[in-house]
C-alpha cells in the first residue's frame, strides 16, 4: 500500500480538496463545474481530505466532461444526504452511528449513484490519493486509491470522531479522518515538489480555526489520549497554516485557491436540503469562474514550465 505523496513529475500540478463534513457540498459544486471546463486530466495528482475525498472521487473517474453524470453525482449532496438519511440522532437506536457510513459508501457510492472506480488512473486520469490519519503511528498517510480499496478508503477518510466510530480498518491498520491531524496539507504537496497547486477550500481563505476544546478530544478518542491530544494541538494549527501558505506561497510555487467569499449556509452536520442545495450552487458558480481563469492562466500539461505566485 503506497502511503506517501508521489514525487512531483511532469507539470508538477496538483489539486487539493479540503473536507469539512457537509461543507463538502461546496467543493462538490466546484468540481462539478471543473468537470465541464477543466477536467481531471489537467492534473498530475489529486488529493482529497475527509468529505472532500468523496467529491474528488467522482471527479477523478470522469475521463471527459460528462454533464449529466456529474449532475447526478452533485445531487447526492442535497438529495441523498439531506434529512435523516445520513445523519440522525435516532441512528444509534437502530444500532447505527450518528453518521451512517454504510448508507453513504455501501449504498450511495457502490450502488445508487455508482462511483465508477474502474476508471481510476485510466485514460490519462491522474493518480488519486486520499489523506487519512494512521491511529497506530499517529501520522498522516496518503493512500493511493484503487478499484480494490476505494470504498473502504472512503470510509476511513470519513471516519469522523463522535459522528462515527472514528476508525476504520484498512489492510490491517486502523485509520481515521485526516482532518483530525491535518485538514489542509498544502505544505506536504510543496515538499513533494508540486509547483502549481489548485486548492478548493470550504470556508473563506481568511477564516481562522480556534483550538478544539478539551472535552472534544475526550469524546472523540476516549481510549486514545495521545491521538486526542495531537488532534487538539494540530488540527487548528494545520488548518490556519495551510491557509497562510495558500495566501503567500514560497517562491517558485503558484497556488490557485477556490473558496467561498463568506461562511457557507451549512456547517459540519447540516442536513437541511435547501441549505445544501444553496451550497452546491455557490460551489458550482465559483467553480465555473475559477475554471475559466485556470484555462487562461495554465498552459497545457505538456508545455507548462512556469510558476510563481498566489491567486
Catalytic sites, residue numbers: 50, 177
Determine the distance from the C-alpha atom of residue 288 to the mean position of all C-alpha atoms in its chain, rounded to a whole number.
19
Rounded Cα gap, residues 28 and 222, in angstroms: 32
DSSP letter string, 6-62: PPP-TT-EEEEE---GGGHHHHHHHHHHHHHHS-GGG-SEEEEETHHHHHHHHHTT-
Task: Classify residue 63 by its DSSP letter.
Answer: S
Which residues have CB under 8 Å from 148's CB, separation 6+?
Answer: none
Cβ neighbours of 207 (radius 10 Å):
15
Which residues, listed in sequence order, are joined to residue 172 by a DSSP beta bridge?
none
Rg (alpha carbons) of the chain, rounded to whole number = 18
Whether 15 and 275 have beta carbons less than 8 Å apart is answered as: no
Determine the distance from the C-alpha atom of residue 46 to the mean position of all C-alpha atoms in its chain, rounded to a whole number.
9
The pairing of strands 173-177 and 168-170 is: antiparallel
Give me the helices (H) in the chain, please. 24-37, 51-59, 67-75, 101, 150-157, 186-191, 214-220, 225-247, 273-297
Rounded Cα gap, residues 197 and 227, in angstroms: 29
Classified as helix, coil or strand, 205 is coil
Amino acid at each position: 500500500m503506497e502511503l506517501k505523496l508521489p514525487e512531483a513529475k511532469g507539470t508538477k500540478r496538483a489539486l487539493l480538496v479540503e473536507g469539512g463534513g457537509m461543507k463538502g457540498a461546496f467543493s462538490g459544486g466546484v468540481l462539478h463545474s471543473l468537470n465541464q471546463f477543466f477536467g481531471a486530466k489537467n492534473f498530475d495528482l489529486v488529493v482529497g481530505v475527509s468529505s472532500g475525498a468523496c467529491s474528488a472521487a467522482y471527479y477523478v473517474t470522469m475521463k471527459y466532461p460528462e454533464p449529466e453524470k456529474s449532475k447526478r453525482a452533485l445531487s447526492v449532496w442535497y438529495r441523498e444526504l439531506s434529512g435523516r438519511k445520513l445523519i440522525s440522532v435516532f441512528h444509534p437506536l437502530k444500532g447505527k452511528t450518528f453518521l451512517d457510513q454504510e448508507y453513504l459508501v455501501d449504498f450511495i457510492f457502490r450502488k445508487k449513484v455508482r462511483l465508477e472506480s474502474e476508471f481510476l488512473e485510466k485514460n490519462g486520469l491522474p493518480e488519486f490519493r486520499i489523506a487519512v490519519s494512521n491511529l497506530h503511528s499517529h501520522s498522516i498517510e496518503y493512500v493511493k486509491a484503487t478499484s480494490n480499496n476505494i470504498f473502504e478508503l472512503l470510509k476511513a477518510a470519513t471516519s469522523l470522531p463522535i459522528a462515527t466510530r472514528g476508525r476504520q480498518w484498512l489492510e490491517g491498520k486502523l485509520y481515521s479522518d485526516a482532518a483530525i491531524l491535518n485538514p489542509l496539507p498544502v505544505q506536504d504537496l510543496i515538499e513533494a515538489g508540486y509547483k502549481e497547486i489548485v486548492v478548493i477550500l470550504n470556508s473563506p481563505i481568511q477564516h481562522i480555526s480556534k483550538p478544539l476544546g478539551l472535552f472534544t478530544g475526550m469524546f472523540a478518542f476516549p481510549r486514545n489520549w495521545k491521538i486526542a491530544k495531537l488532534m487538539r494541538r494540530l488540527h487548528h494549527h494545520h488548518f490556519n497554516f495551510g491557509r497562510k501558505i495558500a495566501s503567500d506561497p514560497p517562491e517558485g510555487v503558484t497556488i490557485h485557491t477556490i473558496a467561498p467569499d463568506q461562511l457557507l449556509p451549512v456547517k459540519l452536520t447540516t442536513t437541511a436540503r435547501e441549505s445544501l442545495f444553496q451550497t452546491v450552487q455557490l460551489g458550482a458558480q465559483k467553480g465555473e469562474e475559477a475554471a475559466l481563469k485556470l484555462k487562461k492562466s495554465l498552459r497545457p500539461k505538456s508545455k507548462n514550465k512556469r510558476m510563481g505566485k498566489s491567486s
